[in-house]
Structure 1
Amino acid sequence: MMKRVKKTNPRLLKLINDLKAKSREQNVGFWRDIAERLEKPNRNFAEVNLSKINRFSNDNEFIIVPGKVLGAGSIDHPVNVAALNFSLTAEVLITGANGKCMSIEQLMQANPTGKGVRILK
């Protein structure tokens, strides 16, 4: 029988609880979906390169990555990206294209219903 490992990162635990609470409060399944993705093992977290964000996003669109944004590739239009973590290169390139990097917590405050946000994994 395998031992069940629980998450210990306090920021991640609080984020998951906040996402579920926001989902109940707004009656929106979007935040619950993100919470369930973050409850899975860390090795299953999304790792998205800038080239993928560039390919699948439009100008000034909101993108959420339930994992880490990596700096491979380039970005040629402004986009607002919320993620658990950013590599330093990714952060520099997104802000260099007049985009915005934010935490998932910040996006949840700015857009409580999660409307118009695209999930990339």
Structure 2
Amino acid sequence: MPPNPTGPTNRQLRMLARFLRKAAMANSANIWRVVAEFIERPRRQRVVVNVGKLNRVANDGDIVVIPGKLLGGGELKKRIIVASVNVSRKAAQKVIEAGGELLTIPELVRRNPKGSNVKIVI
């Protein structure tokens, strides 16, 4: 019997990390490799970001990737494009009300394979 697993046991997260690593190699874009490393972390070390933090660190028109969950704490007054692993209903509502856009991480990779002008928020 193997030792206790580290990293995600969730099949979808493992597939997402594999997809990101392949995208990083194919497009020479290290940003996707870094995002994959965050996604592969153990559950207790996963990234959780509130909407209020996005309001502080992002500018209008920015493209932001969150290698974890986006929660609805705080206010968002900027139009940004957000891609994350998971989003709460309240956070999704706040992003859309601010005029922003929500994407999945694979959608963002397909739109912007080189990862140019993408910020990682942790």
TM-score interval (norm. to shorter)? over 0.9
Shift of 1:32: 0.6
Residue 3 of structure 2 corresponds to residue 3 of structure 1: yes
Find the residue that maps to 1:30 and give its secondary structure: helix
Find the residue that maps to 1:15 and give its secondary structure: helix
Task: Report matched runs for 1:102-113 at 5 Å.
Answer: 102-113=103-114
- Rounded to whole Å, the distance in 1 between the matches of 2:121 and 2:22 is 22
Query: CA RMSD for the aligned pairs?
Result: 1.3
Identify the residue that residue 41 of structure 1 maps to in structure 2. 42
Task: Report matched runs for 1:45-64 at 5 Å.
Answer: 45-64=46-65
Deviations 1:37-86 (A, max 9, x none): 11110221111011100011111110111100010001112111110000
Identity of aligned residues (%): 33
Aligned residues: 120
Find the residue that maps to 1:32 and give its secondary structure: helix
Task: Report matched runs for 1:1-121 at 5 Å.
Answer: 3-6=3-6, 7-121=8-122
Find the residue that maps to 1:64 and give its secondary structure: strand
Partner AA of 1:56 in structure 2: V
- Rounded to whole Å, the distance in 2 between the matches of 1:13 and 1:59 is 32
- Rounded to whole Å, the distance in 1 between the matches of 2:85 and 2:97 is 20
Find the residue that maps to 1:115 and give its secondary structure: coil
User: Unaligned stretches of 5+ in structure 2?
Assistant: none
What TM-score, normalized by structure 1, do the two folds share?
A: 0.94
Find the residue that maps to 2:74 and give its secondary structure: coil
- Rounded to whole Å, the distance in 1 between the matches of 2:4 and 2:31 is 27
Shift of 1:9: 1.6
Shift of 1:110: 0.6
Find the residue that maps to 2:99 and give its secondary structure: coil
User: Unaligned stretches of 5+ in structure 1?
Assistant: none
